[in-house]
Structure 1
Amino acid sequence: MEEINIKLSTGTEFTRDKVGTCIITIKNREQDFEITLDEDETVEVLVSDILKQQAIIEENERQQEVTVNQFRQAREEIQRLNQENGRFKKALQVYADENKYRRIPRMSQWATVEMEKQFGDFNPSFMEVDRGQTAREALEGDAE
């Protein structure tokens, strides 16, 4: 018969020697205790340990499922934040461009007298036309 040494979930050691004698060794700081088991006791000890191991495996699987769900949610949140960051960055780049604030000389007649009074000899700058619309659109994307 093959010799077997197994560390059980309880911290005790199970040993079966070459002649088939089964022993559990209980580790203690002061002294180790060895208990020889008959066949029924051996089955009971091993079945009990298997059930404990099965409970541990089931709990680990449950925790793994929770972790996978948390990871999935975190990944989705990162994607959402990256999209939001992209919208905000794009809007900031528009407002950071100095050329967007410049007026250029008008080359044609204004369609109305009001526009001529408001802008004179220059076309309105992008910012005068935009009036914060780019920022509002970036922020509206956040509400979606």
Structure 2
Amino acid sequence: MGTAIESQYLELENGANAKLIAIAPETTEFLLGEVERQAEEIDRLQKRVQTLETDYANDIGEFGQESKRLRKALQFYGDENNYHRRQKDAVFFYPAPIEDDLGQKAREALKEGE
């Protein structure tokens, strides 16, 4: 694209020189179009950043809930008291909570995360 650009120097009151540039109308239109396109791109990127921030916040919330659920199941299996049988009477014992569970808490915690 051929553009006509003229430049002149203008002496300012303080003795400094300022370069004045005259740009052809088609160049001005092109540059204004570029500014508009860049503004649209900035707007698009800002919206994308907002979407990513929202998604990130949602993911953090979901991971926090999953962490609590899995921690609760782990605490059950980590509690040594859940491995001891309790005496019902002189002869009989209740099964240990872990025997009654048979891994159910773990399966439920994992299933909820699917």
Normalised to the residue count of structure 2, the TM-score between the two structures is 0.72
| Bigger CA radius of gyration | 1
1:23 maps to which of 4, 8, 20: 20
Matched, 1:101 2:86: no
Unpaired runs of 5+ residues, structure 2, are 1-6, 13-18
Within the alignment, does 1:49 sit opposite 2:28 as a pair? no
Q: Distance in 2 between matches of 1:121 and 1:107?
A: 5
Please say if 1:136 is aligned against 2:90.
no
The structure in which a higher percent of residues are helix is 2
Superposition misfits of 4+ residues, deviation over 3 angstroms: 43-48
Structure 1 stretches lacking a partner, 5+ long:
1-13, 25-36, 109-119
Q: Distance in 1 between matches of 2:88 and 2:95?
A: 9
* Whole-angstrom CA distance in 2 between matches of 1:23 and 1:45: 16
Alpha-carbon separation, structure 2, partners of 1:23 and 1:107: 104
User: What is the number of residues matched between the two proteins?
Assistant: 101
Q: Distance in 1 between matches of 2:76 and 2:105?
A: 8
CA drift at 1:130: 0.9
Question: What is the TM-score normalised by the length of structure 1?
Answer: 0.59
Quickly say closer, same or farther: Cα 1:92–1:140, change in 2 above 3 A.
Answer: same
Deviation of residue 51 (structure 1)? 2.2
